[in-house]
Structure 1
Amino acid sequence: MSFAPNFPQHEFEASQTAARKGIDNSLPADKLDDMVKVSWWLQELRNKINRIHRTESRARELPVIITSGYRCPELNTAIGGSSTSQHMRAQAVDIHVPGMTARQLVDFIAEHMTGYDQMIEEFGRWVHVSVCDSPRGEVLVARKSGKGVRYAPLKAD
């Protein structure tokens, strides 16, 4: 199985931190199937966003931009990621869509998509989504607090 047309492998491996620190963030062969699965989930999301939000006045498609995909353990440590991060298992991405707030994207995914394990609106800036074989459909919000990051269930408006 290959990566989805709009989500090539290199987008999941790209990291400014890895490049700056000389970390090889190449996707290992044993994690390829999981990342391919995420790519096709993202392709479905992109297709739905553009089918539903496309108007005559906005002919250009909205991209789904990956800001963080796969993270090797060394990269995950370098950025202060969770030791249990699904990014290290090639099952998670952080994304944003220009023209949509993080909350709008969360609401869109909750209404139009299935198959996600966790979806986290992080700091009002991006959305973390994980995809795995036994998805929980958990929706959270992450906020900085005095002691680090606090996660809580995201309540509907």
Structure 2
Amino acid sequence: MIITELKSVEGFAAFCEGLNLRHFSPHELLSKGQAHETPGHRGYGLNTDPPAELWPNVVPAITMADRIREHFGRPVVILSAYRNTAYNTAIGGASRSQHLKFTALDLSCPGITPQACFDWLCIQREYGAFRGGLGLYRSFIHVDGRGTNATWNNT
């Protein structure tokens, strides 16, 4: 089992290498979420790495996250990426969440307001940089590459 997991992580690293990301490592994209890491939380230990067939789905979202880092010159933290069904249910995620398909990232931009990042992403989407969902929350933003535009504000 450990050898299989290691090969999967190595394969994901090679996949990410081909994306030419300037500001993100494969390790960051494999973050399983805070609840997964928090003993006592109902989501503790439930999440998994994304299956290989879903890896290409994250490309639009991580490309935009990389561009946010470039544009603002500030760190961008991936709070949530892939969620398996058990973990998504445990944390109260939407039943049709884009995180289940590995198309979505929830991002925090320390030193930059979520509104500023959201506004910049809206402009990028308007100019055709990607097609997908944008969500604004009090402490983070959501970006996904679902292929159709969707926008929401949960502040």
Which letter maps to 2:71? K
Contact 1:96 1:105 in 2 (8 A): no
Higher share in strand: 1
Contiguous gaps of at least 5 residues in structure 2: 1-14
What is the CA–CA distance in structure 2 between the aligned matches of 1:117 and 1:42, rounded to whole Å?
A: 13
Detail structure 1 runs of 4+ shifted over 3 Å in the superposition: none
Q: Which residue of 2 aligns with 1:11?
A: 28
Which letter maps to 1:27? P
Shift of 1:24: 4.2
Structure-1-length-normalised TM-score: 0.72
Considering only aligned residues, what root-mean-square deviation do their CA atoms show, in Å? 1.9
Residue identity over aligned pairs, in percent, reads 26
Contiguous gaps of at least 5 residues in structure 1: 51-61, 144-157
Correspondence list, 1:10-89, <5 A: 10-14=27-31, 15-19=33-37, 20=39, 21-50=44-73, 62-89=74-101
Shift of 1:99: 1.4
Deviations 1:36-88 (A, max 9, x none): 443223212322223xxxxxxxxxxx011111111111110110100100001
Q: Which residue of 1 aligns with 2:107?
A: 95
DSSP 3-state at the match of 2:50: coil
What is the CA–CA distance in structure 2 between the aligned matches of 1:112 and 1:38, rounded to whole Å?
A: 12
Task: Choose which of 120, 127, 135 in structure 2 pairs with 1:120.
Answer: 135
Structure-2-length-normalised TM-score: 0.73
What is the CA–CA distance in structure 1 between the aligned matches of 2:81 and 2:58, rounded to whole Å?
A: 9
Higher share in helix: 2
